[in-house]
Amino acid sequence: MMGKVYLVGAGPGNAKLITVKGWECIQKADIVVYDRLSSPRLLRIMKPGAEKIYVGKKTNRHTMKQEDINQLLVDLALAGKKVVRLKGGDPTIFGRVGEEAELLNHYNVPFEIVPGVTSAISVPAYAGIPVTHRDYASSISIITGHESPDKLNRAIYWDKVTNATGTLVFMMGVANIGYISQQLIDHGRPKDTPVALIRWGTWAEQDTLIGTLENIEAKVIENGFRPPGVIVVGEVVKQRERLKWAEKMPLFGKRILVTRARTQASDLVDRIEELGGEPYELPVIETLAPVSLETRNQVKAALASMERYDWAFFTSVNGVDYFFRHLEELGLDIRSLSRARIVAIGPSTKEALRRKGIVAEEVQGSFQQEGLMETFEHELLAGQKVLLPCGNLARTWLPDRLREKGLEVSLAYVYETVIPDEQDDEIIRLLKKGKIHAVTFTSSSTVTHLLALLKKMGDTDPVRLFDKVHVVCIGQVTAQEAEKAGLSVSIMSEKATMESLTDALCKLEDKVTAI
């Protein structure tokens, strides 16, 4: 059966700047063939079992020649695969999509071109530069700047291009900035014409350099300004001082490693993005329904007579979700728990119960097991019966304290926590290059699992990778686990909430090398 190829524009870098259709194509793909300028986060939405193939290019260093990429797409489709060819920006603007599509057409392979948000417009926008403006420019030219000067001289009619439009945008031209500037001056642009260079636009590394045609080359050399970048020439550059917005956001320039469970949508990720940061999600926990017959029988026994419980303590969102899965599987009714007082540790857990139609009592103060004992200390009486749905790696502190007070505790290990089968070379590279500003931990298991996962990926001393990374923890217990593992904790959030954690992130000073 013939497959199909989707030639998808990934946008300028920020994962959320891809189109909805592009996002959907990635989710459905059997194989994603991607470039260097595609966000690693987009690869995380691939379906389980899908394959990813890197064919990215750097200056004078190509992982795979363009002709070989073209043929690869054909071969994969002929093998019956649904393929996404993921390209930075828009595939039709210097993306060589024409060559790829032409060969696909030659072999009668079905394909679609899915437009993307081009870097020519979006990167200047993130630097506060609109490429058109009623008072400064009513037209724009998008020009390649990537080829050698000899080739550019043959490909570009400088006498016509120089003054053809109000704004000139050169793509991938940082290495040729001196040649480009001189050509524009020689063909009639004033030496004091404003110029902006924006590198890694919409990424955490976004950096902007402002000058004029006369001095921009010297500034590039002085500042060590390197590709990849977009060059904007024209009076619209003057708008930056009034319109720059990204740099004013509290987490601008910060890439934050978010450790989480594979299946959990993260409020923390959304909050980081709202504050201008770049979250890097790494699943370090995978939750599964209990596998062993012994554990399943233990859960069944704990839930068999729910009408006898005086208390039901839920310590996590996962505990809530899996508890209700077991109720459905066993054909049980939540109304059997009507006699019990239902308590949630933390607002997220309370919200998870609310979505199930249960308004739980909430722990006051510390959203930890210790806080539960403090909140209900005088109401927890000897002889009372407690149901405690939790994971197999849950802390034993709470059931131990309850039993010491004479309460009868029934543990129900409603889920198991394991380390995902994950291979992410990009996170190792980012950590080694000092490109991660902070890492967040929301539980003790995220600490131990992250370090174990990095070892599994091949790093023999993962603690060393965090020497220049802020370690930010929710709660004292998580912080203690991090310190025990050898990590240096920078800050502990005041409350065990995502809002409090992001507040802590905003207070951190730079610890990593300049990015």
- Secondary structure (3-state) at 410: strand
Question: For residues 188 and 490, what is the distance between their CA atoms, to the nearest angstrom?
Answer: 55
- Secondary structure (3-state) at 125: helix
Which residues lie below 8 Å from residue 177, measured CB to CB, with a gap of 6+? Answer: 145, 197, 216, 217, 220, 231
Nearest Cα to Cα of residue 422 among 378, 396, 386, 459: 459
Rounding to the nearest 10 degrees, give the CA dihedral for residues 102, 108, 110, 112: 20
Q: Are 346 and 366 contacting, i.e. CB atoms less than 8 angstroms apart?
A: no
Q: Which of the following is catalytic: 4, 30, 35, 321?
A: 35
Q: Has 35 been annotated as catalytic?
A: yes
Q: Which of the following is catalytic: 46, 171, 172, 306?
A: 172
Question: For residues 343 and 362, what is the distance between their CA atoms, to the nearest angstrom?
Answer: 6
Enter the DSSP assignment of 89: B
Residue at token pair 């795979």:
64
Question: For residues 482 and 234, what is the distance between their CA atoms, to the nearest angstrom?
Answer: 51
- Secondary structure (3-state) at 139: coil
- Secondary structure (3-state) at 460: coil
Q: Has 57 been annotated as catalytic?
A: yes
Q: Where are the beta strands (DSSP E) in 331-372?
A: 341-344, 361-362
Q: Are 482 and 489 contacting, i.e. CB atoms less than 8 angstroms apart?
A: yes
Question: For residues 102 and 68, what is the distance between their CA atoms, to the nearest angstrom?
Answer: 14
Q: Which of the following is catalytic: 21, 57, 300, 385?
A: 57
Q: Would you name the residues annotated as active-site residues?
A: 35, 57, 172
